[in-house]
Amino acid sequence: MKKLNIVLAIAATICAGVFSACSDEPEAGQTAKNDPAGFVQDGGIVTGKINLDALSRHTSGLKDATYTLENFETFNMDDYTNGLWEKKDLRLYDGWEMPMPRRIAVIAGEYWEPIRTFSLSTGPTRFGIALDLIERVEHKDYSIYIKKKMATDDVDKTLTIGHRKYGILYADDEALVLSYEYPYYGGRTHNGGLEMIVTSYSLSDPLQFEGTVMDFDSETAAYDWIIEVFRNKFGESVNRNDYYNGVAILDYPMFYLEEIIAERDLLGGR
């Protein structure tokens, strides 16, 4: 009889453990905050723990922080998905560019974003070409950052950086998960639809502006800097083939200062 009671006790303990594990299963994001795919379940968005107090300390300027991208997943919604999000590797499509920052650096309550130097659809920007030439001449690697406003919304659970608004799916003292939805046109249904990216970030070494890591209050200010440096080093134009050391031989190698100026003026100081 004692043996039977022991067996029953063990069985009861196992069953209790199984049911307890099922009933206490954490929400998405609590155990998989570095797995963006877990924040979309059965075609719908789910959220994990959101502690906006930790994030607000950064956006209000009380504490500096730098988040670095760890992982991301992409999703699609169109006429074929019945209002649900479908996991889709958008990286396989030509011209797709990740619409989220790879690093979120917050210093004194301001967000600092690397200046755009390349696009998959259009190639290097004029700024990027000029910067590459300057780096070749000076034998340095520059990192150029632009300041943009940043704010959180406690009600909507959103984070706004510049002109873009991201959904907050998870936030604590060490991690952050964001989502961003944007429309597209055409596609497999020819009616377009929505695409979404979910990104996970973790705290990393803080960004520091020193040496060749430079900060500017706007894109216009960064362009003004590179225009001055370019003019001092090359004048009004430069033959790029003179600096590529035979790695690339361009058919049309001439690059002009006025191209950088035109690109700056087109941006309009955004």
CB-based contacts of 59, cutoff 8 Å, min separation 6: 106, 109, 150, 151, 152, 159
Q: Are 66 and 207 in contact (CB under 8 A)?
A: yes
Q: How confident is the model at residue 107 (pLDDT cuts 50, 70, 90)?
A: confident
In the predicted structure, residue 88 carries a pLDDT above the cut 90: yes
Tell me what pLDDT residue 96 has: 84
Tell me what pLDDT residue 7 has: 40
Q: How confident is the model at residue 3 (pLDDT cuts 50, 70, 90)?
A: very low
In DSSP terms, 200 is beta-bridged to 71, 177
As a three-state string, the secondary structure of 6-26 is HHHHHHHHHHHHHHHHHHCCC
Residues 15-66: tens digit of each pLDDT: 444 433 443 344 444 446 889 999 999 999 999 999 888 777 777 666 788 8
In the predicted structure, residue 13 carries a pLDDT above the cut 70: no
DSSP tag of 50? B
Kindly report the average pLDDT of the chain as a whole number.
Answer: 85
Q: How confident is the model at residue 130 (pLDDT cuts 50, 70, 90)?
A: very high
Tell me what pLDDT residue 18 has: 40
CB-based contacts of 118, cutoff 8 Å, min separation 6: 124, 125, 128
Instruction: Give the pTM.
Output: 0.77
d(CA 130, CA 137): 11
Residues 140-195: tens digit of each pLDDT: 999 999 998 888 898 999 999 888 999 999 998 889 999 999 999 988 899 999 99
Alpha-carbon distances of 13 from 19, 20, 49, rounded to whole Å: 10, 10, 30
Alpha-carbon distances of 127 from 102, 167, 223, rounded to whole Å: 20, 31, 7
